[in-house]
């Protein structure tokens, strides 16, 4: 029988980040997820968790107390290859909003972080590293006590913009670079009529 259940939204009942993080980390379905059983039973987990509980992600936010939540779903799946070998897969979707400092105007800028990725599990870290270059999919080591919270946070952090800017500031930077290239003699295209005139002069001599 397929296990399908949903974790309800966490209420912001306390301003204590340590309490929020404690509630998240000690939830057995997320902190110690049995990936093998989760995939073999085609299970699904989903819900919302406070952004303030993800310590590493919260540090990136420019506000002292972000009140956004992280929406997420996890879906397990067991697929069979052509030779009949079962493969363990996990589909993660997550999204949230975060506020960063624009690197051009130094004002606050909101950004949406969205993750939609599939992971295939292999028997060990060594196997994952050895096969990483040969496979397009993301590989993880199979763990009967898998920290799904850490995976959600890792993926959201990797989706942070390298150089956060407002869209208008980003466009301004591109326009400035285009102007610099246009004014740089090294990048200016030769005038075809000037080149033709030089060719005529050479043929006359």
Q: Domain residues of the chain, as ranges? A: 17-164, 166-205
28 or 37, which is more confident: 37
**DSSP strands (E only) in 29-125:** 44-50, 69-80, 86-101, 108-122
| Beta-bridge mates of residue 113 | 96
pLDDT band at 49 (very low <50, low <70, confident <90, very high): very high
Mean pLDDT of 9-33: 48
Q: Percent of the chain at pLDDT above 90?
A: 47
Using one digit for the tens of pLDDT, what is the confidence trace for 155-184? 999 999 999 998 888 877 677 666 666 666
pLDDT at 203: 54
pLDDT in tens, 84-136: 889 999 999 999 999 999 998 999 999 999 999 999 999 888 877 877 667 77
pTM for the model stands at 0.71
CB burial of residue 149 (10 Å; 0-12, 13-18, 19+): buried
**CA nearest neighbour of 99 among 162, 52, 164:** 164
Q: Give CA–CA dist 182/191, Å, rounded.
A: 14
Query: Which pLDDT value is given to residue 55?
Result: 92
**What pLDDT, on a 0 to 100 scale, did the predictor assign at position 91?**
97
- Residues, the chain: 205
């Amino acid at each position: 029988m397929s296990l399908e259940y949903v974790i309800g939204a966490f209420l912001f009942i306390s301003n204590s980040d340590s309490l929020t993080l404690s509630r998240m980390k000690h939830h057995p379905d997320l902190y110690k997820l049995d990936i093998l059983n989760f995939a073999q039973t085609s299970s699904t987990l989903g819900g919302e968790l406070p952004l303030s509980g993800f310590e590493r992600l919260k540090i990136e936010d420019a506000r002292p107390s972000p009140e956004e939540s992280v929406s997420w779903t996890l879906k397990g799946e067991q697929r069979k290859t052509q030779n009949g070998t079962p493969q363990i897969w996990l589909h993660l979707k997550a999204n949230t909003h975060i506020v960063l400092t624009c690197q051009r105007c130094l004002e606050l800028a909101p950004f949406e972080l969205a993750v939609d990725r599939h992971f295939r599990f292999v028997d060990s870290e060594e196997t994952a590293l050895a096969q990483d270059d040969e496979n397009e999919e993301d590989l993880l080591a199979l763990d009967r006590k898998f920290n799904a919270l850490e995976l959600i946070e890792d993926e959201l952090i990797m989706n942070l913009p390298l150089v956060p800017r407002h869209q208008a500031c980003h466009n301004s930077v591109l326009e400035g670079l285009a102007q610099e290239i246009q004014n740089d003699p090294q990048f200016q295209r030769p005038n075809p009529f000037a080149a033709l005139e030089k060719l005529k002069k050479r043929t006359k001599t």
